[in-house]
Amino acid sequence: MKIATWNINSVRRRSALLEHWLQATQPDIVCLQELKATEAEFPFDACERAGYGAAVVGQKTWNGVAVLTRDAEPRVVRRTLPGDAKDKQARYLEVAHAGVLVASLYLPNGNPQPGPKFDYKLAWFERLLRHAQSLLQTGEPIVLAGDYNVVPTDRDIYDTRSWLDDALLQPESRDAYARLLAQGWTDALRHKHPKDFGLYTFWDYKRNRWPRDAGLRIDHMLVSAPLRPKLRAASVHKPMRGVEGASDHAPVWLEIAV
C-alpha cells in the first residue's frame, strides 16, 4: 500500500498537475495541504477522473487540507484538531481507509517569530502532541502526514545561515517535533534514509533555490509502531518540483507491506 503527502500550494492552480500525477503514481491514499480553496472550489472532478474520492477541509484563500482515496470515498474520522474550539483554520483531517488511520495536517508556518503567529504555531503543536499521544494509545496503524513546517535537524537543510531566524528552525519548533517522535512515532523518510544529506521536500521560489538544490525537509510522514516493521520504502518525488508550474513542495510517499 502506497501513501503520499503533498503540499500542493493551491489545488485550483495545480488541478491538472494533480490529475496527471495521480494517474501516473496511483497512491492508495493521498494527503494534500495548502489547498487555498473552499470545499466548494475543490476540483473533485479532476480527482474523480483519476479514480479518487476526496474528503476536504477547506477555507477561503489560505490553508486547507484533503485526503484522497483510490477507488473509494474516504471515511472521515475527524475534521479538526482537538483542543481549541475557537481555532477555525483548516489544517487537520483524519480519514480511515484500508485498515489505516491517516491524518493530513498543515502545521502553522509561524513566521515572523517571535510574535503571535509563532505563538499560534507552538500552541497548535502542543495540541497535536496531546492528540497524537491519544492516537498512539489505540495501538492502531496510523500515519500522520503533512507539512509540519519544521526542519528537524541541520541535516535536513542545505545551509542554515539564511534561515536561523526563521520559525522553521527555531529550537522550540524542533523540540516539539522531537517530543512528538519521542512518543513512539517513526519519521518514515528519515528512517529509510538515516544518513542522507539532500533529503529535501521544499525549495523556496525565491533566490533561485530549486536550481541550486537549496532545499529543506519540512514535509513528514510519521508512522505508529505497528507500521514501522512494515515500512518497505519512503522517498521524495523530487521531479515534481521541477515541472512547469510546480508547487514549491515535492510529494513524499511511503510504501507499507500489506
Partner DNA sequence: ATGTCGAGCAAAGCTCGA
Q: Which is nearer to DNA, 171 or 245 (CB)?
A: 245
Q: Which is nearer to DNA, 153 or 162 (CB)?
A: 162
N-term to C-term CA, the chain = 6
* Residue 151: C-alpha distances to residues 174, 197, 198 (Å): 7, 13, 12
How far apart are alpha carbons 222 and 150 in whole angstroms? 13
How far apart are alpha carbons 107 and 89 in whole angstroms? 10
Strands 92-97 and 100-106: antiparallel
User: Is residue 49 close enough to count as binding DNA by CB under 7 A?
Assistant: no
User: Is residue 113 close enough to count as binding DNA by CB under 7 A?
Assistant: no
**CB 201, min distance to DNA, A:** 13
Span near DNA by CB under 7 A; candidates 8-16, 69-77, 182-190, 229-237: 8-16
User: Is residue 20 close enough to count as binding DNA by CB under 7 A?
Assistant: no
Q: Which runs of consecutive H residues, i.e. helices, occur in the chain?
A: 15-25, 44-49, 116-136, 171-182, 188-192
**CB 51, min distance to DNA, A:** 24
Q: Which is nearer to DNA, 109 or 170 (CB)?
A: 109
Q: Which residues bind DNA (CB under 7 A)?
A: 9-10, 12-13, 34, 36-37, 60-62, 108-109, 111, 117, 162, 205-207, 245
